[in-house]
Amino acid sequence: MNSLNPDSHSATAYAHAQNKQVSAGGTTFAYRELGRHGGIPLILLNHWGAVLDNFDPRIVDGLARKHRVIAIDYRGIGSSGGIAPVTVDAMARDTIALIHAMAFEQVDLLGFSLGGFVAQDVALKAPDLVRRLILTGTGPAGGQGIDRVGAMSWPLMLKGLVTLRDPKTYMFFTSTANGRQAGSAFLKRLKERKAGRDQGPTPRALLRQLKAIKGWGQQAPQDLTCLHMPVLIANGDNDIMVPTALSHEMARRIPNAQLVIYQDAGHGGIFQYHTDFVIKALEFLAQ
């Protein structure tokens, strides 16, 4: 059921946020929202294969102290209807349609990994719709190494099966003591929600999203100088999924960008340093 009453308030913790739906462009999208209504909402766009239960509750809860935060499932993922798109372009168009369906005139966007690709494309397609942009663990179109995400991922997924660990242990975190401890804590947080959990991604959806990621890595670079809104870029210093060098590249190419690089951290640097990231993100959004 779609609930967009501006006078209502969402749950106080993401682990207990209500599952909701909204129709946009002929597709029913699943989402959860948190925080007091009013002001510019913050839309969260997540990684390859991620469903609503893959958003870090510490980050969502922290951001929701000051903002209305809305986490979404892409088309064909989790509880959203339709078939997963095979291009970032289509995901961005879906996101724009979703924002319009929710009757928002302007939003802030936070994209992680694949979500960062989508967030960039939304901001380039509809610059007046995006007030501020947060890009984490991500890279630009045509970025070197992005088209190898699949080649990097399959061995780590196999390693997860062999070691009986979630593959995100290896994909998102470093192999140092700090990295392993942070990974374990992050994975425990993702299990805090006990009731009303989302549906996991299907193998077909995973492969279709991977095709979109590969296409993003192989397409022509976009003109990031067209991003005139303030942009916060964050990553770990050892991202093996979307190389950290691409975060530095985006910071050079985007006119009004701030860059945060976390030490001894990988793709999931914002999860490892979630307390510091929430502080920096709130400061950025309040400027």
pLDDT in tens, 188-224: 999 999 999 999 999 999 999 999 999 999 999 999 9
Could you give phi then psi for residue 104, rounded to 5 degrees?
-90, 130
pLDDT (tens place) for every residue of the chain, 287 residues total: 333 433 334 447 999 999 999 999 999 999 999 998 889 999 999 999 999 999 999 999 999 999 999 999 999 999 999 999 999 999 999 999 999 999 999 999 999 999 999 999 999 999 999 999 999 999 999 999 999 999 999 999 999 999 989 999 999 999 999 999 999 999 999 999 999 999 999 999 999 999 999 999 999 999 999 999 999 999 999 999 999 999 999 999 999 999 999 999 999 999 999 999 999 999 999 98
d(CA 196, CA 118) in angstroms, rounded, equals 27
3-class DSSP state of 97? helix
Sorted by where each begins, the domain ranges of the chain are 14-286
Q: Are 258 and 284 in contact (CB under 8 A)?
A: yes
Q: Which residues contact 178 (CB under 8 A, 6 or more apart)?
A: 264, 265, 272
Please write the tens of the pLDDT for every residue from 25-70. Answer: 999 999 999 998 889 999 999 999 999 999 999 999 999 999 999 9
Q: Which residues contact 27 (CB under 8 A, 6 or more apart)?
A: 75, 80, 81, 82, 94
Q: How many helices and strands (H and E) does the chain possess?
A: 10, 8
User: What is the enclosing helix (H) or strand (E) of 221?
Assistant: none
Q: What is the pTM of this model?
A: 0.95
The position carrying tokens 């392993």 is 180
- CA 75-80-84 angle, to 5 degrees, is 30
Q: Which CATH class is domain 14-286?
A: alpha beta
164 secondary structure, DSSP code: T
